[in-house]
Amino acid sequence: MDGSNFSDLYLRHVCMFYIKLQGQHLLPASTIQTIVEEIQNIHELGQMYTLNRLRSLLKDMSVSDEDIKICDTVKQSDLFSACHTWPLRTAYSRVQCFKDVFKYVEPRKVFLGRDENRMERFAYCVPLLNILKGMLESSFWQGLISVNPNNVSRPDVLRDCCDGNVFVSNKFFQENPHCLKLVLYQDAFEVVNPLGSAKKKHKVLAVYFSLVNIPLTPFIIVCGSSCFAAETFMLSIDKKTVNDRITTFTSAICLMFGSYYCFNIHYPVELRSTLEFLQRCFFSINPDRGTKVESKKKKVFSVNPRVLTLISDIADHEWI
């Protein structure tokens, strides 16, 4: 990973930390500002001590003053200070940084008219197209879209909305199998403002959506242009990201494959050959009977003939 990509990833993780403090732990902005300032001061003191020790050691090793300038380079490459002295230094700059890093889409104010008291009434919506555009342009989302439009594995089991008769018989989805599938929800709730002139209950109707183009079975999300160039991977199970900090493709493969056994999940029919090859050739799981492939009406062999042929061909060339 080059320097620019790593600095962006570092800034993203620092932003996620402060967002958790604000949104999950409900810390006020003034408290977060104190944390930012004090943790930066502590970091600068620790860095100063480390660099002074490094300079002393270099001098003891008879390193010239010109070579000792490496300490200045180390200080200039300090990502923590770079984040806290510019994009995250104040509450306002943090909000702007959050918007840039996480592709925030600004809500739009829509005028609805006037009520019986001639008061203006408004609704607020977040443009759906802008949200989808930000999701699809993000490297963290590009690997989430299921490449297989047909999610029906067993006709007698309903796993999600794509297995229902209404969806299967819909002409639009038949003609556009690779389209984005959105599910809209609405939820009415009441909020109470205990202070001010608006001290009363306020009824709110929220409308939101979820993207269903995500498979249920375990799969790897590649955060990059390819599995060979990416430095970060994520694991999704049942349409939920369960691990977002996998650093190697090998680890991602092991976690993905192990999920089928830890959670007792059958191999998808469309991936049966690939997963069974991994099972027998790489993980040395070779049962005499039975298979983890989802059963269908047609006969399922205990050992996939294609996998058996491939393993035999590899063995003939003495590659294993």
Based on the fold, state whether residues 26 and 74 are members of the same structural domain: yes
pTM metric for this prediction: 0.59
Based on the fold, state whether residues 31 and 93 are members of the same structural domain: yes
Based on the fold, state whether residues 226 and 312 are members of the same structural domain: yes
Query: Can you give the residue range of the structural domain that contains 229?
Result: 219-316
Instruction: Round to whole Å and give the CA distance between 102 and 15.
Output: 9
Name the token pair of 277: 């090859």
Q: What is the pLDDT of residues 49-70, one digit of tens each?
A: 998 888 888 888 877 766 667 7
Out of 215-219, 243-247, 299-303, the most confident range is 243-247
Residue 187 confidence (pLDDT) above 60: yes
Based on the fold, state whether residues 202 and 239 are members of the same structural domain: no
Task: Cite the beta strand spans of the chain per DSSP E.
Answer: 108-114, 120-125, 182-192, 201-211, 219-222, 233-237, 240-246
Instruction: Round to whole Å and give the CA distance between 296 and 155.
Output: 9
Based on the fold, state whether residues 204 and 112 are members of the same structural domain: yes
Based on the fold, state whether residues 150 and 80 are members of the same structural domain: no
Q: What total of structural domains would you count in the chain?
A: 3
Based on the fold, state whether residues 14 and 38 are members of the same structural domain: yes
> Of how many residues is the chain composed?
320
Residue 94 in 3-state DSSP? helix
Based on the fold, state whether residues 118 and 75 are members of the same structural domain: no
Last-in-domain residue among 211, 244, 269: 211
Based on the fold, state whether residues 227 and 183 are members of the same structural domain: no
pLDDT band at 152 (very low <50, low <70, confident <90, very high): very low
CB environment 71-81: b (16+ within 10 A), e (fewer): eeeeeeeeeee
State the pairing for strand pair 182-192/120-125.
unpaired
Based on the fold, state whether residues 268 and 193 are members of the same structural domain: no
